[in-house]
Structures are given as structure tokens and as C-alpha cells.
Amino acid sequence: MSVDAYKKICRASEKAYAELARFQCLDQKSLDYGGYIDPKTGYSEPAKWGSGMGVSLGCALYCCPESTYFQDFEVLKRAKLFFAHTKEGQHEDGTWDLRSSNYHDATAAAFTIAQFMTTYQLLCTIKGQEEFAKDILQVCKKAGQALLSGGFHTPNHRWVIASALSLLYQETRQEEYKIEAELYLKEGIDCHADGSYTEKSVGNYDAVVDQALITIAQTLDRPQFLQLVLRNLSLVAHMVQPDGYLCTTHSFRQDRGARIKPMKYYMVYRDMARKTK
């Protein structure tokens, strides 16, 4: 990655974190204490959305020498507060609620695991943060139980769940995670000849599937999945219009007709360029 690109990602991450911190609830009497209050809804989502991002982004910037937040203990304190809110919102069965629509949602557990396992691995390299890393892993293991018994409600969730299970298997070597992931994979990946996935969500969920398949390819030794990602990325390149926005008219999801630039694919393209050069 070029120095300029890296600096741009760092600055963009700092900007995103500042927005999360701005809307973090610091009222100890509030049920949302520690969480990110979405200004559009007026309440927090304890899992991946908002609060979970505050954990992972805050920790990443704290550990990044090029960031203005490097070794800023206030940032680490805020990240731990975000995490406490996420942990508090986890049900006994390992799930979280997506409070706007889905309750005891196993897919929220999958998205959170996929996000937190990277944070866990990062914190394991930072002296003095062993207990914080351990707490994150325990939350992920508890969420893993939800994936062994819960289900999904959209096509891309199958691969997000499988990738989360594969990450837990990679860390713990518990066979139950691998077995469950392989049950999903036996369905066959829904990548069509033109590179599209079932949802045709080039503005959103195609990137989610690409990231999940890359993870599975690495953790469960499925290098053939990378060819599916390449096929989809070829389609995405053809869907970029002259104005730089993606053509989303074919999508079956909420990005249909929306004006979206292909920024979600940046790291996917870079990762695949490195893996397939």
C-alpha cells in the first residue's frame, strides 16, 4: 500500500472515530451508557453497528503509530466503554438485538465476531492489554454459541456466519465451529457466471460477501473461493458509471437505486491484488 493511501485511510478512520465519540452516551444513568447514540434514531445499537465500531476503530487508532490518537489513553478508555455497552447488550444465548428490527439476532453475533476477532488479535500484541483482549475473546466465544444454534434471514448472512465460525475455529480449534461452517458451505456459494451474488447488491452486500469469502479462503483453506471474489470484482468494475458511482438498479436490497461510490471495495481490491499477483 502506498504511503499516501495509508495516510488517507488513517485520516478517514480518525474522522469516523471522532463522529462515534461525539455521540457516545456518557450519562451513567442512561440505558445507553457507553453506547453510540445514532442521531437518526436517538438510541444505541450495542452490537456491530455504531458501538461495536467504536471498539474496533478506537483500538486500531490507539495502536497505530501514524495516528494522532496513538497511545491516547482517553481513546482506549472510550473504546472500553463502548465494549462494556456491547457486552451488556449481549443476551445469555450469545445474540444481540438489532433494535430497529431483529431481536435475538444470530447474524448480529456473526458481524460482531468478524469485527471483534481482528481487534482481539491486535490487542494481543499490545503489552498491558491482555485482559481487555481476553474479555473480547470471551464475548466472541459466547456469540459463537448463537451461531451454532441460530439462523439467518438474508442470503449474504450464510457467508458472514461461516466466516465468523471459521475465525473462532482458527483461534480455538474447536471442531464444532468448523463443522457448522462447513454445513453452510455445502450449500454452494451463490456466485453466478456474471460475478453477481443472489442479492445483486453491488452497492453494499456484494462487498460483505467478498470479505467473508476471503476470510473463509484463508481460515478453512478454500483458495478456490478467491476466484469467486475475483469474478465479482470484475463485475463491480463494469458497474462503475462515468460519474464514479455504481449502477445499483439491479439490487434486491436497500441500496437499489442509491447513489453509492465503490469505496467499500477498496481494501477488497487491494487484498486480492496481493493474493493473486
The C-alpha cell at 22 is: 461525539
Cα 38 to the chain's mean position, in Å?
18
Amino acid 48: pLDDT: 67
Percent of the chain residues past pLDDT 90, beyond the cut: 90
Rounded to the nearest 5°, which phi and psi values hold at 260?
-135, 130
Residues 6+ apart with CB under 8 A from 92: none
- Is the predicted pLDDT of residue 1 greater than 70, yes or no? no
- Contact (Cβ atoms closer than 8 angstroms) between residue 48 and residue 115: yes
Residue 242's pLDDT band (cuts 50, 70, 90) = very high
- The domain ranges of the chain are 190-277
pLDDT of 276 reads 85
How confident is the model over 74-94, as pLDDT tens digits? 999 999 999 999 999 999 999
Quick check: helix, strand or coil at residue 240? strand
pLDDT in tens, 15-39: 999 999 999 999 999 999 999 999 9
Cβ distance 16 to 8 under 8 Å?
no
Give the CA-trace dihedral at 35, 40, 41, 43, to 10 degrees. 10
pLDDT at 168 over 90: yes
Task: List CB contacts of 26: < 8 A, sequence separation 6 or more.
Answer: 33
Average pLDDT, the chain: 95
Sign of the Cα torsion 204, 210, 216, 218 reads: negative
- CA 256 → CA 47, 202, 249, 252, distances in Å? 25, 9, 5, 6
